[in-house]
Each structure stands twice: as structure tokens, then as C-alpha cells.
Amino acid sequence: MKSSFLDKVREVSKQFFQLPKEEKQKCAREREPNNIEGYGNDVIYSKNQRLDWTDRVYLKVLPEDERKFNFWPQTPNDFRSTVLQYTESLRLLSEVILKAMAKSLNLEEDCFLNECGERSNMIVRVNYYPPCPMPDHVLGVKPHADGSTITFLLQDKEVEGLQVLKDDQWFKVPIIPDALLINVGDQIEIMSNGIFRSPVHRVVINKAKERLTVAMFCVPDSEKEIKPVDKLVNESRPVLYRPVKNYVEIYFQYYQQGKRPIEASKITF
């Protein structure tokens, strides 16, 4: 993918967030808590929830027949075509990466792809973090691991914010302007029986500068039950996760309560 195309993806996203509130509201998320698609911020599950300092647009791009264009920005008018083209490039790239990840564990290359089922999903989330007068008191995104198989993250070119947790410490993720960051999500952790681990990460915000990122989540078919692949379960490595289905659905409820969704699948001994 050319860096000029990555800039284009950033540009159409930024143009949308620069529109007046009334314009953006045209693709606003519906009120029922289970509907996460469209423009908005956190879905509220409880009064005690801490809110993220972010606005976002969340859209299911694949499978094709599940697109809900009424939630898609109409302005700028090349938003739709740009996101569709971007998704197609990342769909192809995700196949290459999931095959390589399977091969690296001596599995058949299609192993993870087959586990994702016939109707894999691609979901885009454009994250816009406005400047915040009290950046030490709130987070752009609370600590979480992604609920995907893998996530492609296109970072802001100038403003840092992403941090990853390792050994109980937060580490800054540097900006590499023309690179996509690829994150391992919970569903690959489950399929690989814990060999690939989904890292916990968070977003800190900035007093003076806005920040924009585009996350593309690759997610298995919601009807397909996923589980650790047989070849990665043996006497020395017992099965660590229960089968799960439609993980994205449980994901947000756990996340908003500050819990790790993967706990719903982990087997405790």
C-alpha cells in the first residue's frame, strides 16, 4: 500500500470529524446499547463506568451484505470508496499474515483462516481524540486487548498516544508514519491455545493536540464457534480456553465494566 493512500485514509477520516456536530449526527449510533455501529462515543452499561475521551465511527465493512450504509459518513464524498478500498487491501494482507502465523507454529497454513469461517468480518473504527484540558485524569481508551484475530492500526502521523503493558509497565508505541501496526487480538490467543498473546494497551491523550487513528479489526464469522486448534492441545499443553461464539458481542460488556473479555473463555484449573 502506498503511503499516499494511507494519507488519504487519514484525510477522509479527519474531514469527517471536522464537520459540524449536526452533520456528524446524521450517522449517529442508535440508542439501544447493543447497537455499536455508527458515530458516537461509549455505549453506557452502568452508572459507574469511566468514559473514554474519544469520538468514533464504528462500521462493519465485511461481509458485504451486512454493511449498513445509513451509518456511513456521506461527507467527504470519497469516504466510502476510500474505506472500501482500504478494507480490500487489508483483507488480502490479513490472509497473508494469518497464514504466516499458522506456518510459524508448524500448522497447515489455512488453519486459522478456516477457524474464522466462511463469512469473516472486517470492522473499521476511526478514533478521534480531541485535545483534553485535563489529560492526566482521563484516558482516550481504557486498558484493553482487542477482541479481533488481528488488528491493523493506522496511527496518527504526528501525535503519539498508544501504550502497551509489559511487565506491569506502560511502554510508548513509537510513530512510524508509513507503517501499519499489527496487533494480536484475543481470538488468535484462543485459537493458538495461548501461544500468541493479545497485549493489553491503552491510549493517553494530549492537552494541546488532537489525534486520529484508524483501527481495522479482523473478526471470525459471528456464527462460527472458535476454539484452540487441536494440534496445539496436548499433554504438556492442556486446553486453556473454552470454545466461544460471537465474541464481539460479549466483548463490549466486559470492556465497559473494566474486565478482560478473554476471562469468559479462559479455563481455570
Ligand X SMILES: O=C(O)CCC(=O)C(=O)O
- Residues at the interface with ligand X (CB under 6 A): 125, 127, 141, 146, 153, 155, 161-162, 201, 203, 213, 215
- Could you tell me which of 24, 44, 25 has the C-alpha nearest to residue 34? 44
Closer to ligand X by Cβ: residue 27 or 126: 126
Q: Does 55 bind Fe ion (CB under 5 A)?
A: no
Taking the complex as a whole, the smallest distance from the CB of residue 201 to ligand X amounts, in Å, to: 6
Closer to ligand X by Cβ: residue 212 or 226: 212
Q: Which of residues 118-147 bind Fe ion (CB under 5 A)?
A: 146
Closer to ligand X by Cβ: residue 40 or 161: 161
How far is it, in rounded angstroms, from Cα 201 to Cα 183? 10
> What are the cell numbers at 37?
455501529
Taking the complex as a whole, the smallest distance from the CB of residue 215 to ligand X amounts, in Å, to: 4
- Could you tell me which of 262, 100, 79 has the C-alpha nearest to residue 186? 262
Taking the complex as a whole, the smallest distance from the CB of residue 59 to Fe ion amounts, in Å, to: 16
How far is it, in rounded angstroms, from Cα 225 to Cα 216? 22
With beta carbons less than 8 A apart as the criterion, state whether 217 and 147 touch: yes
How far is it, in rounded angstroms, from Cα 156 to Cα 252? 24
Taking the complex as a whole, the smallest distance from the CB of residue 121 to ligand X amounts, in Å, to: 15
Sites of contact with Fe ion (CB under 5 A)? 146
